[in-house]
Amino acid sequence: MRSFFMLILASILFACGQEGGKGAGEVKYYLAQAATSTISNSLILEVEGDFKPNFSVRGKGFTSSVEAGVSTAFQKQTELTAETFGEVAVEITLYQENGKPYLVDTLIWKSSGEVPPLPSPYFSEIVSADAYVYLVFPNKLLRGKNTTEVWLEGDLSESPEGHYETIPSDDQVLVKLSDADGMKTVRVKYRNIFGAHSALVTLMIEKKSVGPKECKAQPIASKTASGTIRTRIEAINEGPLYYKVTGDVDSPHDFVEFTDVIEEYIVLKGAEGSKRLTVQIKDQAGNVCPAIPLSIDYDRSYVPGKVTVLNDLLWTDSSQITLLPRYDQFTGDHIEMLITGGVIAGANTFHWIPYSESVPIDLSPTNGTRHVLVQFRRDQTPMLEVTTAIFLKPYVIIQGAGPPYQVIPGNILGTEKITLIGCLESYTNVSYQDVFPCSPTVSAGSFTIDVTYYLKDGTSLTRSATH
């Protein structure tokens, strides 16, 4: 919309001569434009009432459509033409009926061929979570003091067909985008006080009111021995994501950009103990997920892997058992295992195999405790070695040529108490020892000794030997 500048507004009340047959009126006079981008302008006269005063116009550097300095009958519009761009003073005189002047005033008219520079605006946000966003117009010096307005059109909630706004002193114009989410296009151009405008510049911004979904922060375990916890952070979102971790962390940082999923080794603060963390995830528009709390135990004794035997067996009469390895890992990790120790070489032993939580193996056939070692590696990097033990084919041995004989029970790991039957000596619910002196309860001939093991898992096992 073309701005209309009124440079001078004068209200003069006057009465006509002695006859009084004509009404008093209010006279207004002004330039059609206080500043122009051409050398043409108009002087406007307006009168309320019957009396229409004569007027005259004069000055240097311009011509008018009436003779300069000559009293001329009232007319609403008088054309002015400057000799060149610049500033001229237009002197206007109003006359009474008797021909005497009753008002003399000067109106200043500025003209210039100056054209505003091409705007270089930007939005205060890359993506906006709501409809309101600032449009920033930098380079005030380049823009110049005469460029004071900006034209806005496009995907706006108000006047999308376009309108001018005055550029605020802070060079930021608040605009309201149209309601629906999506990419928005806004076109802008400058206009200066002379009415000249620049070419249009097109800007685009995304309006995104829906935040990320399925935001997760998953530590690899709830404990760590190193003071560092590997954590996978992820969310579903169209466009960049940002996260930060606060709480009991050694070096807090501001939001870090990522896409879809990222892993961070979070360094915990302070000595061992329970650590509380908070993970925040947001999108580029500032839409935030609910804060994700984490609790991590910093315990130097923690081991991130182990291996057990199926059903937690402490002993077995079969050389075929199933191992249950466990190693802290994320889905997608490339973990391998190497199984060695008291085992027979086979498909699953003495070479690297893919990680599995159930692995059948064959123990080496010698009776006694079999130690099985499992080493883990991730992406070819050795990480950890763990071990387990199981007693193969529990036995009882009797040695000696005469009483007291030596009864040697197998040393089953997990034995809490042991009872021997068949000896004169009393061995009932006693602690395990390597050798028990035994005088048989029979005086001659062969004899049998029964040994009962009471194990930590609450079970018992009886083995016998005859001599």
DSSP 347-376: TTSSSEEE--S-EEEEB-SSSEEEEEEEEE
> What is the rounded distance in angstroms from the CA atom of residue 327 to the CA atom of residue 303?
9
- The CATH code of the domain that includes 51 is 2.60.40.1080
Residue 1 lies in a domain: no
pLDDT in tens, the chain (467 residues): 333 333 333 344 333 332 333 344 688 999 999 999 999 999 999 998 888 999 999 999 999 999 999 999 999 999 999 999 999 999 999 999 999 999 999 999 999 999 999 999 999 999 999 999 999 999 888 899 999 999 999 999 999 999 999 999 999 999 999 999 999 999 999 999 999 999 999 999 999 999 999 999 999 999 999 999 999 999 999 999 999 999 999 988 999 999 999 999 999 999 999 999 999 999 999 999 999 999 999 999 999 999 999 999 999 999 999 999 999 999 999 999 999 999 999 999 999 999 999 999 999 998 999 999 999 999 999 999 999 999 999 999 999 988 999 999 999 999 999 999 999 999 999 999 999 999 999 988 899 999 999 999 999 999 999 99
Report the SS3 class of residue 142. Answer: helix
Report the SS3 class of residue 143. Answer: helix
Residue whose C-alpha is closest to residue 228's, from 269, 262, 267, 264: 267
> What is the rounded distance in angstroms from the CA atom of residue 285 to the CA atom of residue 177?
14
**Surface-to-core class of residue 113, CB atoms within 10 Å of its CB (0-12 exposed, 13-18 middle, 19+ buried):** exposed
- The CATH code of the domain that includes 335 is 2.60.40.10
pTM of the predicted structure, to 2 decimals:
0.71
| pLDDT for the residue 49 | 83
> What is the rounded distance in angstroms from the CA atom of residue 433 to the CA atom of residue 453?
12
- φ/ψ of 135, rounded to 5, equals -105, 120
Q: Of 166, 184, 207, which closes a domain?
A: 207
Q: Which helix (H) or strand (E) holds 308?
A: strand 305-309
What is the span of the domain harbouring residue 252?
A: 213-298
Q: What's the start-to-end Cα distance of the chain, in Å?
A: 119
Q: Of 157, 172, 207, which closes a domain?
A: 207
Q: Tell me how many domains the chain contains.
A: 5
Report the SS3 class of residue 304. Answer: coil
Residues 285 and 313 in one domain: no
Residue 40 lies in a domain: yes
Residues 344 and 403 in one domain: no
Residue 376 lies in a domain: yes
Residue 15 lies in a domain: no
Q: Of 355, 389, 423, which closes a domain?
A: 389
| pLDDT for the residue 385 | 97
Residue whose C-alpha is closest to residue 419's, from 435, 405, 433, 430: 430
Residues 232 and 176 in one domain: no
Residue 268 lies in a domain: yes
> What is the rounded distance in angstroms from the CA atom of residue 381 to the CA atom of residue 383?
6
Residues 129 and 181 in one domain: yes
Residue 12 lies in a domain: no
Residue whose C-alpha is closest to residue 207's, from 249, 159, 247, 157: 157
* Adjacent-strand bridge partners of 382: 377
